Each structure stands twice: as C-alpha cells, then as structure tokens.
Structure 1
Amino acid sequence: MARLSFFASLMSWLTQRAAPDPVFPPATGPAPISPAIEPDFAIAWGARVSAAFKRKAIEIAHRLEMDPNHLMAIMAFETGRSFDPSETNRAGSGATGLIQFMPATARDLGTTTAALATMSAVDQLDYVERYLNPYKGKMADLESAYMAVLYPRGVDKEPGYVLFRKGSKAYKLNRGLDTNGNGYVTKTEAAAKVSVLLAEGLQPGVIG
C-alpha cells in the first residue's frame, strides 16, 4: 500500500511540476534531460547513481507510467547493483547493459551490444526507454515491470504464470530464479530477487 501511495504522489507531483514530455529522440542521439525533475526527489538506489542518471530515470518512468523505484530495482538487479552499461551476462547469453539487452534485441533497437557497452549509463537509458515503450501503462506492479525485461509474454499474466520449465534452454539460463527448486519458475518467483533489490534500494544510504 505504501508503494502505491508513493506512486500516486509521484504522478501528482510530476503532473504539476514536469515540463511536457519531450519528443522521443532518434537512435543516433541521447534524450535531453529536463531540469523540471528536482535532484532531491528520493528514489530507490538514487544515492548510487549520478544526479543526471537519477533525473532521467524518473522522467522515463513517468513517460512509461511506471514506478521509478521499480525501474531502478530492475536495473540494479540486472547489473549486479553496479548500474554499469557494459555489464555482461555471466551465464553466457551475450546480454549486455542496464537491462541486459540480448544481441537480437539490440539489433531491433538499431544498435549492437558492443555499441551499448561503450555508452555512458545516462545515454544507454534512451535504449532502456525505447525497449520498454511497447509496455507503457502495463507495468504498474514490480512483477509486470520485470516481465517486460525478462519475459514479455508474462507482462499481463497472473502471478502464478509459469515462465520456464526444467529441461529448456531458458530454464538453464535462469535456473537461479527457481528459488524452491521445483523445476519451474513462475512470474512471482522470477521477480522475487528484484523485490529484494527494491527493498535494499529503499534503505538509508542507498535511497537518494
């Protein structure tokens, strides 16, 4: 309930204070950062990133109609808390960056994982937004927001929806999400570790 209240307050604050949404930039250039977002508006993991990154993440979350805390928790999880745009997947999938872009996904976005790895974290946020934009308005809860990154088919599914089953390549790559070891990963189970990162990101010294 507290998270919902925070999101409602954020939407109200941004509606009153933020400038009109900027036109989404071409793939060749970064999005402008509006000064309308005050750098002291605290969000999860905000103390661990630059003011420019934090401000831009809030703006992106506003445009995508999602909680910025959820976006930050997802990026913290996908990068092992580093927010490093060159972070690579340790399971060998070839994924790279803030939300672990797969090579094919990078190509669909008009770039490559190699190019993404050379970007600053702030610039790579443009590609995070471009990737998540098709799910705008569908990521109100943390589980659904994370599904947009991990398994888009699960965005609008119920919490118990099974994503991966033992024996599949997808399960092998994500077996660490099978916390109870029963051979399959549900939507709720898949987001459990992200939820832990959300709670961690809201702790004193990390929130900011």
Structure 2
Amino acid sequence: MIVDDQELLRRGLAMVIDSQPDLELVAEAGDGQEALDVLASRAVDVVVMDVRMPRMDGVRATAQIQKLSRPPRVLVLTTFDLDEHALGALRAGASGFLLKDAPGEEIIAAIRHVHAGDAIIAPATTRRLVAQLVDQRETDPTAVLQMLTEREQEVFGELARGASNAEIGARLYLSETTVKTHVGRILTKLRLRDRVQAVVLAYESGVVRPGSR
C-alpha cells in the first residue's frame, strides 16, 4: 500500500510497483488515518509511508500500525532529509527509511528487503541519525551485552554496522545459517522486532560508536 497525500507521486510509484512481476499494489491512501481505515479491512504486507501528511502524519500512523494484530512492515519514504523524521519513524516501528529522490530500482529493492525482514536506512541519513542517537543515549551498554553470549555480542556488533548475514559470516567465520540463528536469538533476547531496531539500540546504548568498523 502507498500512503502519500500527493496523488501524482502515488501514481508514479504505483506504475513502478506494477511493473514488477513479484509486487502488487493493493491499496492507496492519502494520509495516515485513511491508511488505518484501509488496513482495518484489507491485508497488506508492506506499507510505503510518507511522513508529512494532513490529519495523521506518517510517524503517528506507523506507531498505530504496530498495534494491529498482524502489522505490515513500513517503509518510510519522504522528501525531508531531517533526523527527527528518520528517528521518529524508526522508533515508531518503521522497518526502513528512504528519501523520495532515491532511484526507482532502489525503492523497489527496499520494498523487497523490508518484506524479507531486513533493515533499510538511507545512506545519506545514516551519519546524522547515528550522531543524534549517540547524543540522546539512554541505555546502558553493559545491560545490553550481559543478555548476550560472547558470540552473540560479536554478531550484534556486525549487525549494528549494517552487515548482511553473508558479510557477518565471512568476518566471523560462520555459515549464513549459523548467523541467521544468532540474529534470531539476539532479536528475541533483546525484544527487538527487526534489524532496524537492533541498529537503533546499538547506537543508543553505545555498543557501537560512530565511525567504528
């Protein structure tokens, strides 16, 4: 489902989505409240959500979507490259954040990744977002790490830096299946929904610091 108050943008994105054999546009909405009304009666896997809209903005709508019994994943797509929107959307439960000027193929790839449970954060936003997370740090890193085994801590660190399962496996000499198992256990132990929340927690707690590799 596409949620945006600009009909022209919805039409353009709809054409891109409908051109893909594995994607189907099943609904549109002009604001967050309309999106919630649609979701009350229609099953959707991924919502592509604008941030600034009348009646209910994308951040509030994303937070409300998370309260549904089977919430779809939310990919926030906006023209506003501002930290508070990125951070607000991610904290509200979005699985990804991209700018509207991203190429069509990048947006399509992001929809697929979000559907698969991966995290998507616009590269142009990441550095400023991380800096803000560090400034607002509230979580004790020791408390976070104490919940994980030594190997899980290593995987968590790589996960927070945006590494894929294959990259984590190569760096830690683990199979992708083993990495996937570790990631699942980490998300369960830390009560995180997905990899985006893992990134946010890692920087909020100071487990990973800006510029670390």
TM-score (norm: length of structure 1): 0.28
Higher relative contact order (CA 8 A, sep 6+): 1
For the pair shown, the structure with the greater C-alpha radius of gyration is 2
The structure in which a higher percent of residues are strand is 2
TM-score (norm: length of structure 2): 0.28
